[in-house]
Amino acid sequence: MQSAQSEAQHPWHWPVFTTTGGGRVIVLRAYDTELAELTVYSDARSQKMAELAGDARCSLVFYNPDHRTQLRCRGVAEVLTKAGKRKRLWEALEVASRQNYASNNAPGSHLEAPGDGRPAGSAKSTLTASEDWFPNFAVVHIRQIECDFLQLARDGHLRAKFSLQSPLETYSWRVP
């Protein structure tokens, strides 16, 4: 997990993030081993943010096709509201990543023609990082409660369940 947060080519860098309304592929931005906490970014206007406001339970599913391993982490999301820390994370993003928050409308909004919803007449390559987009930037910390690990193998699959709740961290083997 440590290398997945910083290596874009790592298969676990791109997990599926699920809420009550479904799942989407996102980028794992950080992992804190001490807190058992994963961090992802989202557009504050997205449907998943509205879903998390109503029910903070969520999951992240990671898959590594080379090792044929799946890790499913169930947790509780907390949206970072402190502007100072959010601002530091925003400023650390590359301009190309900030441009993902430049749309005039919320993700999923209707468009009359194919496009990305950015201001008319602007190409992504000509947009500069605007502070106007900062309100659209959300940081989500996901405190893991439990993880389910699955190893696929021709001679038999293996599965284990890990509980990360304090004070005891426990695991048990499960039928795949």
Indicate which CATH number applies to the domain containing 151.
Answer: 2.30.110.10
Query: Model confidence at 5, in pLDDT bands (50, 70, 90)?
Result: confident
On whether the CB atoms of residues 131 and 23 are closer than 8 A, the answer is no
What's the domain range around 153? 11-104+128-174
Element (H, E) at 50: helix 47-54
Query: Model confidence at 96, in pLDDT bands (50, 70, 90)?
Result: confident
Q: What is the mean pLDDT of residues 74-103?
A: 91
Within a domain: residue 57?
Answer: yes
Quote the pTM value: 0.88
Within a domain: residue 114?
Answer: no
Residue 171 CA, distance from chain mean position: 24
Element (H, E) at 142: strand 137-151
Residue 4 CA, distance from chain mean position: 12
Q: What is the mean pLDDT of residues 142-161?
A: 94
Within a domain: residue 112?
Answer: no
Within a domain: residue 53?
Answer: yes
- Of 11-20, 49-58, 163-172, the range with the lowest mean pLDDT is 163-172
Within a domain: residue 149?
Answer: yes
Q: In Å, what is the CA distance from 166 to each residue of 55, 94, 143? A: 22, 36, 12
Within a domain: residue 33?
Answer: yes
Within a domain: residue 118?
Answer: no
Q: How many domains does the chain have?
A: 1
For 128, the token pair is 């500069």
pLDDT score of 33: 86
Residue 122 has pLDDT above 70, yes or no: no
